[in-house]
Each structure stands twice: as C-alpha cells, then as structure tokens.
Amino acid sequence: MKSAIFLTVRNKSTRLPGKSFLKIKGRTTIEHLIDRLKLSRLADMIVLCTSTNHDDDCLVEIAKKNRINFFQGSEDDKLERYLDAAKKFSVDFMVIVDGDDLFCDPEYMDKIIAKHNETETDFISCEGLPFGVASHGMTLSALQQVCEKKKESDTEVWGDYFYKNDAFKKAVIKANPDVNYPDFRMSLDYMEDFNFFKRVFDELGDKNTFSLADIVNLLKKKPEVRKINEHMHQVYEQNIKAKQEKVKKDMKKGSERHKERC
C-alpha cells in the first residue's frame, strides 16, 4: 500500500497575490513548506498538486527544483485533482496539506498514516492543533466514492463531503497537550500572516525544521509574535463561511436539477 503527501497549491491568491513565491531567509514560502514535508518518515512520496492553468507552471518548476513529484489537474475541483493524482502515482492513501500551511506538522502526518495502516480508516483528521498545522488523510476508495456522487465542480471547501458521510470509517487524532493551542493562527492568507512567519523564522532559525513544540513555546514566551496576525482570523473565518454557504447553495441547485431530470 502506497501513501503520499499531496501538497495542494495554486498561484491564484487574491488576498495575498504571489504568496507562494514570497521569500523568507532566501527561500520561497512554498519551498519552506516542502522542506518541512520532507521530514515525514512514513510517506512514500510528496506530490505537488496544482492545476493545468499556465499561471501554475511556475509551481511545477518549484517541484522539479526541489525534487518532488508534481501533478497538474482540474483548476477548481480539488477532489478530482487529488483523485487523478492518486491514480497517476498509484497512491492508496493520501495526506492532504494546504500550500498556505507553512508549519503543517510532519509528526502528525505520520500519525495519520500510521493510524490508517493500523485501522484502514477511510478519513482521518486532527483535533486541537494550531490553525494551519493540521492535515487530513483519506483513502483512494473514499475519494472515489465522493467524486462519483458529488454534483459540484468547485470543491475548494471539501471537508463536509467526508465529515458528513456516515458510510465512511472516520478517526480523529488529538493534539498532545504541549501543542494543543487551536487558537494560535499559522496560515498564510494575508500580509499580517507573512509578517508572522518572518518573525518566527527570525526567532527560531533559517530552515523550516524546528519542531511544532518550539513554535508553540515561542508564542507562549513572546505573545507579541502571536498578536502579529491573530486578529486576521475573524476575517478569514468570515471568508470561509461565505464560501461554505456558496457550496451549500450549489449542492441544493444540483440536487434540484437532478430531480427535474428524473
């Protein structure tokens, strides 16, 4: 059984244009994340999953430069992109990491893979980690079932397809007490977030190999670092809520069209 980390990223941000190519300590943010993903001990490969849009070709070059696999698929349908990538690389289980999450933790990625290997769980999530640190795991078979049944072609917000499917065997990995700080924000969406990441690197070192515990301890010791971007989380949540409402409306419309055809 082959497992992989799917790093999902596109060069289309409107809140912080070109954020994957902003530099910290001489390396782009996406390269810092790749460095962190390479610390995983259990993943068989890393695949940068982007789109066929020519604007994303620059991300393919980053993947080549850093010697990881890449896949170009659907522009808006992330789930179809994951499915096609899994088929191309013969992946049975994938851990999904968002390109915004520079401090996504490899220890918990390995915990997700280990949990699946032990239990053959369809979908695995994490609970209690700082925002932007957790990843999700899913089986190829579960992903295929979702893609066969869904009616939407825009799946930027895709969690509910798995969370709300009672047919799937699900598991939750809880954060260890020393890193159980879900209110700490560690996601790159706004300039304030970029300034936060720069400050953490200034404090902890040039390479993105410091532990999650090191980051949490820094934020506890120096709350002024945490305050650089914590006020942006409310803005972010409002944006996500609007996207989720759009997904619900699209799903309802799709269901109504299906009934009309029947």
Percent of the chain at pLDDT exceeding 70: 92
The pLDDT of 219-248, averaged and rounded, is: 84
Q: Which residue has the higher pLDDT, 236 or 220?
A: 220
Q: List Cα–Cα distances, 232 to 44, 105, 160, in angstroms.
A: 35, 22, 24
CB 102 within 8 A of CB 186: yes
Q: Which residue has the higher pLDDT, 233 or 128?
A: 128
Percent of the chain at pLDDT exceeding 90: 85
Per CATH, which fold does 3-261 belong to?
Answer: Spore Coat Polysaccharide Biosynthesis Protein SpsA; Chain A (3.90.550)
Lowest mean pLDDT among 81-90, 177-186, 203-212, 236-245: 236-245
Statement: the pTM of the whole predicted model exceeds 0.85? yes
Q: What pLDDT score does 249 carry?
A: 66
Confidence band for 241, pLDDT divided at 50, 70 and 90 = confident
Whether residue 252 has pLDDT greater than 70: no
* Extents of the domains making up the chain: 3-261
Whether residue 61 has pLDDT greater than 70: yes
Confidence band for 207, pLDDT divided at 50, 70 and 90 = very high
Lowest mean pLDDT among 27-41, 97-111, 235-249: 235-249
Confidence band for 262, pLDDT divided at 50, 70 and 90 = very low
- Tell me which residue of 90, 84, 11, 80 sits closest to 44, measured CA to CA: 90
Confidence band for 233, pLDDT divided at 50, 70 and 90 = confident
How much is the mean pLDDT over the chain?
93
The pLDDT of 139-145, averaged and rounded, is: 98
CB 57 within 8 A of CB 64: no
Q: What pLDDT score does 258 carry?
A: 46
Q: What pLDDT score does 185 carry?
A: 97
Place of tokens 């999450």: 101
Q: What pLDDT score does 236 carry?
A: 80
Q: What whole-number distance in Å separates Cα of residue 71 and Cα of residue 50?
A: 6
Whether residue 119 has pLDDT greater than 60: yes
H or E stretch covering 125: strand 123-127
Q: What pLDDT score does 256 carry?
A: 58
Q: What pLDDT score does 178 carry?
A: 97
Whether residue 247 has pLDDT greater than 60: no
Confidence band for 239, pLDDT divided at 50, 70 and 90 = confident
Q: What whole-number distance in Å separates Cα of residue 181 and Cα of residue 185?
A: 9
